[in-house]
Amino acid sequence: MKFYYKDLELEIPANIYYPREDSMLMLDILEKTDLRGLKVLDMGTGSGILAVAAAKKGALVLAVDIDKNAVEIAWKNAAANNTVIRYRCSDLFEKISERFDLIIFNAPYLPADDTRIQELPQWYGGPNGREIIERFLRSAKDFLTEHGKILLLISTITGEKEVKNILDKEGFGWVAIKREKIPWEELVVIAARINI
């Protein structure tokens, strides 16, 4: 299925997360951010839309996903949109060694049982929706440059207070920089830095 956003055109098969309100919210932030020359990691890249948008703004992008099919589709979408992006198949930071000025993560954040998680891993973040986010935040500080930051997208369904508690526990300073109410939830983008 085709997806169009401004001057971008992406091909997104049924088994890859199709950009929705959460993707649009993160895109809006990236469009207003000076990314020229920044090393950016797009965690859980899916279709690659955030990676492509960051590369179009001059970022040096590494896009990763646990799903090798997503990595392949994202690579094709980058090429179709005339962007140069490095890609890697990795379970979060498992195969990452470098540090980044910006890590973006539109995390799978909906709670679900193991059966649903196996069927649609791009949607579900574990039984309470925070398991993947917590694993991500436990490791993320080791992959940020000195003044690097994270843009993490969550939902009120995930438990905003609980995610902020995880950020506190892992030593991040954070602020909710953008919110969008949609019929069944509120989407929240959190910017986080290591507390120095």
**Does residue 147 contact residue 103 with C-beta atoms inside 8 Å?**
no
Residue 189 sits in which domain range?
A: 2-194
CATH code of residue 36: 3.40.50.150
Q: Please report, rounded to a whole number, the percentage of residues in the chain having pLDDT higher than 90.
A: 74
Residue written as tokens 């892992």?
A: 170
* Predicted local confidence at residue 165, as pLDDT: 96
Q: How do 144-155 and 8-11 pair as beta strands? A: unpaired
Residue 117 has a pLDDT of: 47
Instruction: Write out pLDDT tens, residues 16-72.
Output: 888 999 999 999 999 999 999 999 999 999 999 999 999 999 999 999 999 999 999
Structure tokens at 128: 């309470």
For the chain, the domain total comes to 1
Inter-residue contact 23 to 48 (CB < 8 Å): no
For 142, what's the count of Cα atoms within 13 Å in the CB-facing half-sphere? 10
Ranges of residues in the chain with a pLDDT under 50 are 116-117
What is the structure's pLDDT at 132?
87
